[in-house]
């Protein structure tokens, strides 16, 4: 279970290092980027089962600010965290989780002008 928790954390680790959103004047996009930034604080604080609930709550806010396929990808992350929280590790589809993480990296770059790969190195 520890490896899966680390895998989920790795999939969202890039989000945890975001410093902010830049360049887009749209209110909805700013709200989305602000939600991502807030979620980063919760994700950084995940050290055990109790912290996962706070991370899930933050990710749900991000999801609520998102739209379309992006919302679906955040749902995959949320569902994975919830499965780990319940101890249902077998319910996590790691391939689906990995794809969602990659799609979110692209989306955050496009919408928030943030390169998640650069911010984690």
Task: Reply yes or no on whether the pLDDT at 25 is more than 60.
Answer: no
Question: Using CA atoms, how far apart are residues 102 and 73, in angstroms rounded to an integer?
Answer: 9
Residue 4 pLDDT level (bands cut at 50, 70, 90)? low
Quick: pLDDT tens for 63-120: 999 988 899 999 998 999 889 888 888 989 999 999 998 998 888 788 877 655 554 4
pTM of the predicted protein model: 0.70
Residue 29 pLDDT level (bands cut at 50, 70, 90)? confident
Structural domain including 109 reads 2-119
**DSSP notation for 22-81:** -S---HHHHHHHHHHHHHHHHHHT--SHHHHHHHHHHHHHHHHH--HHHHHHHHHHHHHH
Residue 10 pLDDT level (bands cut at 50, 70, 90)? low
Task: Reply yes or no on whether the pLDDT at 27 is more than 60.
Answer: yes
Split into its structural domains, the chain has a count of 1
Quick: pLDDT tens for 33-73: 888 877 777 777 777 767 778 888 889 999 999 988 899 99
């Amino acid at each position: 279970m520890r490896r899966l928790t680390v895998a989920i954390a790795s999939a969202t680790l890039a989000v945890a290092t975001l410093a902010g959103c830049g360049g887009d004047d749209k209110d909805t996009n700013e709200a989305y980027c602000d939600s991502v930034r807030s979620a980063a604080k919760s994700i950084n604080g995940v050290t055990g089962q109790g912290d996962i609930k706070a991370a899930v709550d933050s990710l749900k806010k991000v999801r609520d600010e998102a739209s379309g396929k992006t919302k679906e990808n955040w749902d995959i992350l949320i569902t994975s965290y919830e499965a780990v929280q319940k101890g249902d590790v077998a319910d996590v589809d790691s391939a689906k989780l990995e794809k969602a993480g990659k799609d979110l990296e692209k989306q955050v770059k496009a919408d928030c002008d943030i390169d998640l790969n650069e911010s984690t190195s």
